[in-house]
Structure 1
Amino acid sequence: MTVADQFQADYESEVWARTILLGSRPPRPDQRVEAYRILAASNPRGYGARLARALVGLRYADGDRAPIEVQLGRLEDACAAVELADPQDPGHGRLVTDVLGTYQRLLYSAGRRAEGLAIRARIASTPGGDRVSYALGLAEEGRHAEASEVLTEVPDGTGQHDIAWNRFALTAQLDMAGRTAEAVAVLDEVLGEDLGRMSAGTGSVATVFHESVWRAALLDRAGRESDAGAARREAMALLRRLAATGEPKNWCGAQYSIAGTLLSAMTWDTGHHDPGEPRPPYGADLMHWSPDLRAHYGENSGLAACGCVDPDRPPRPVPDPAGQDAPLAEAAVAHRRRAIRIGTYHLWRRGHQFLETALPAFDDSVTAARRWHASDDRAARPALVRALTERAVLLAAGHQFQEGLSSYEEAVRLIG
């Protein structure tokens, strides 16, 4: 082909591309991609961003019908197109976040976690980029000190998730990094603000109760027994208020996600993770966990056996996770682990319907702890206190305040 022939072919391709894009009918997603690909070849800065967004749009238009490797290939092309776009464009930062954010989520879904984390790091390095997702990715790899450092650097009011949620994640990651005293200080900030909203009638009493219970657990871990006792008394007063008068308002469904997040954060020690296996980014809403980890958390915790993964399936009895002949201590630990996972997942997945299948698991946890306590009061007392407290948290989230109060009062009496 001569130079003149090539020029003519390029010209005709560009005419086709412009005609497709400016026609009276919207182009198909694949036509839009091809048209922008042609135009970006001659004007990358002018059309790179549009090509990138068209490729992302094609991925969503196809849904999961295309093989995941095909979807990843398209998003790799989209990331390459981002590099062609004008970095001085006012929307460039948003473009990077949107395109690379879609790519990293698919990488995690495909189990390519290291590559997904690398993309999150790249997004975080972009001015205004999402640093919270990068921090949660670090947390999932057990890099809690690094995660807490990144979260500390996230300025308030940046629109990256939510200020309170970021502080929940920071509190949990500091605690898991062994910096529990700092974790208490961060949670105190959140608790102080929520107490102010509660007093003004613009905040949930149950949420403040959950935060107070978490604070008591942190203070216990920090060796501040007297302060932990005071925190439990404050939590008790809040739960008695709820048992007497209920919540003054019917708050939005976010209260269930908050309760599940705090429940898992205050009980992160129940988790069992094999070496090299990702772990939940405690303190973060399940919505912000990586897709593969969220699925793994549900499918490998007894949830599938009781119908918890699919909320439209009726619940079924769950086999004893420790086996009928397991030692009492081992059974108590296994039942507690299962209860926490079911409760955390259901509070996020099923909203106000979570008690139907979550509460029996917490009742089983308390029963297993009682059996151990009956045979060894001294060794098992902390386990029974934890099981009763966790059931109280779940019941309070379900607005069964009187039953929650009975469970929490017994836990506090056992502590003495």
Structure 2
Amino acid sequence: MNHSRKVDQDDIVRARNVLLASGRRTPREEADAYRVLAQVGPAAYLPLLARALQRLSYDTGSGRKHASALALSEEAVAVARSIDAAEPTRADVLYRALDASQRELYDVGRGAEGLVMRAEMVDIGRAQAELSGAPAVRGLRGWAAGLSDEGRFAEAANDRGPKLCHLYALIGYARMLDTYRRGEQASLARHEALTLLTRLADTGERNTWSGYQSSFWGALLAFSGAERDRPAPDGPRPPSGAAPMHWSDDAKRRLSGSLHALREEVDALAPRAAEDPDRHLAELVRMHHVLTVRSAVHWERRTHLFTEHVRSLFDDGVSLARRLYGHDPAEGARALARILIDRSTFHAAARDLGPALDDFRQALRHLGEAD
């Protein structure tokens, strides 16, 4: 925009009167007034003009888009770009203008141009995240979705979130592949997880540790443990893949209320497994695993000190699985590998990345996948 040309003083007075008038002004009147005033006071009025153009492009009263919505959104982007780079609000104003414009471009079938704007939004989000130290990057999800729409799946997978969450997702993905008998792909996913975990053990998490990493771990742990769990037939199943904080109150109560009875069942089964391992040891390993998973999910959502409440359960589970492996190597190897991987993710959630890596390597050896 050209802010240097002279503006008629009558136009300036009229524009100010429109904005100061007590009566209701239309979005068109507001945008026209800011167009005039932005030429004499760009620092004050350019951000207001950009927002006014976005409001004009969509009539909230009627719920309909303006016939020139795309042109108005593009004008808003041009206005936002013309704001002085030293202005602290410029990035936010430009981000919102780009967001509105990319939606219009996608709506008229010009997705390639919309994706370019999404990429610029990510650049703004990254710059803001670096300045603030925030782990989240604005615009990343929309940009990844746009890349996926164009079939650029490898680029769409460039997650900049916590690496630990990527690790947990890879491990869960490998288990899903195993479930559907896609062993070769599962092994590849586990080796990708091993590479990532090795790097993490060496350099640590790149983002600030927060409750998000452990919450994500708890959600995937509950999901992975569901196939071995056998909830009461009259009760709701916990929502698979949802963080425990988002479960219904009923599901949370049932989880918490089940722990004491389940502990008693495990304790009662232990002497029978010692006397007759052929009949009871595998079931004891399964039930102890259920107890461990339920306890970990229960305590993770209650306190940041959850690791102290469940550490011994993970250790006992590995010991039981080793007993099963010694008694029945064929059945025990996979059970031991699974429980070692669970303890590996627990160590990672507890920020003990060295032990996490040790457990994961042991698990791969028992699966016959060690390098």
Shift of 1:277: 2.3
CA distance in 1, matches of 2:211, 2:262: 24
Q: Is 2:202 the partner of 1:244?
A: yes
Match of 1:289 among 243, 247, 253: 247
1:389 match: 341
User: Quick check: 1:321–1:331 contact (8 Å CA) kept in 2?
Assistant: no
Gaps of 5+ in 2: 1-60, 62-147, 274-279
Q: Is 2:324 the partner of 1:372?
A: yes
- Normalised by the size of structure 2, how large is the TM-score? 0.53
Distance change >3 Å, CA 407–CA 192, structure 1 → 2: farther
User: Quick check: 1:243–1:402 contact (8 Å CA) kept in 2?
Assistant: yes
Q: Is 2:301 the partner of 1:348?
A: yes
CA distance in 2, matches of 1:267, 1:356: 20
CA distance in 2, matches of 1:354, 1:190: 37
SS in 2 for 1:300: helix
User: Quick check: 2:266–2:288 contact (8 Å CA) kept in 1?
Assistant: no
SS in 2 for 1:216: helix
Q: Is 2:158 the partner of 1:196?
A: yes
Task: Write the mapping of 1:12-411 to structure 2, written as runs, cut at 5 A.
Answer: 196-198=158-160, 203-302=161-260, 320=267, 322-326=269-273, 327-351=280-304, 353-411=305-363
Shift of 1:304: 9.9
Distance change >3 Å, CA 220–CA 362, structure 1 → 2: same
CA distance in 1, matches of 2:166, 2:204: 13
2:366 match: 414
User: Quick check: 1:263–1:344 contact (8 Å CA) kept in 2?
Assistant: yes
CA RMSD for the aligned pairs?
Answer: 2.8
Q: How many equivalent pairs are there?
A: 214
Give the aligned residue type for 1:197: D
Distance change >3 Å, CA 270–CA 405, structure 1 → 2: same
Query: Deviations 1:171-194 (Å, cap 9, x if unpaired)?
Result: xxxxxxxxxxxxxx9xxx99975x
- Normalised by the size of structure 1, how large is the TM-score? 0.48
CA distance in 2, matches of 1:274, 1:253: 30
Percentage of matched positions with identical amino acids: 31
User: Quick check: 1:191–1:211 contact (8 Å CA) kept in 2?
Assistant: no
Distance change >3 Å, CA 321–CA 231, structure 1 → 2: farther
Shift of 1:323: 3.1
Shift of 1:224: 1.1
CA distance in 1, matches of 2:244, 2:250: 12
Give the aligned residue type for 2:296: G
CA distance in 2, matches of 1:246, 1:399: 9
User: Quick check: 1:321–1:338 contact (8 Å CA) kept in 2?
Assistant: no
Query: Deviations 1:115-144 (Å, cap 9, x if unpaired)?
Result: xxxxxxxxxxxxxxxxxxxxxxxxxxxxxx
Distance change >3 Å, CA 274–CA 227, structure 1 → 2: same
Distance change >3 Å, CA 223–CA 343, structure 1 → 2: same
Give the aligned residue type for 1:355: T
CA distance in 1, matches of 2:294, 2:350: 16
Query: Deviations 1:202-240 (Å, cap 9, x if unpaired)?
Result: x21111100000010011112111110100000001110
Shift of 1:275: 2.4
Shift of 1:296: 1.1
Distance change >3 Å, CA 410–CA 277, structure 1 → 2: same
CA distance in 2, matches of 1:396, 1:410: 15
SS in 1 for 2:301: helix
Higher relative contact order (CA 8 A, sep 6+): 1
CA distance in 1, matches of 2:320, 2:207: 36
User: Quick check: 1:212–1:232 contact (8 Å CA) kept in 2?
Assistant: yes
Poorly superposed stretches of 4+, deviation over 4 Å: 189-193, 303-306
CA distance in 1, matches of 2:338, 2:170: 15
Gaps of 5+ in 1: 1-89, 91-184, 307-317
SS in 2 for 1:197: coil
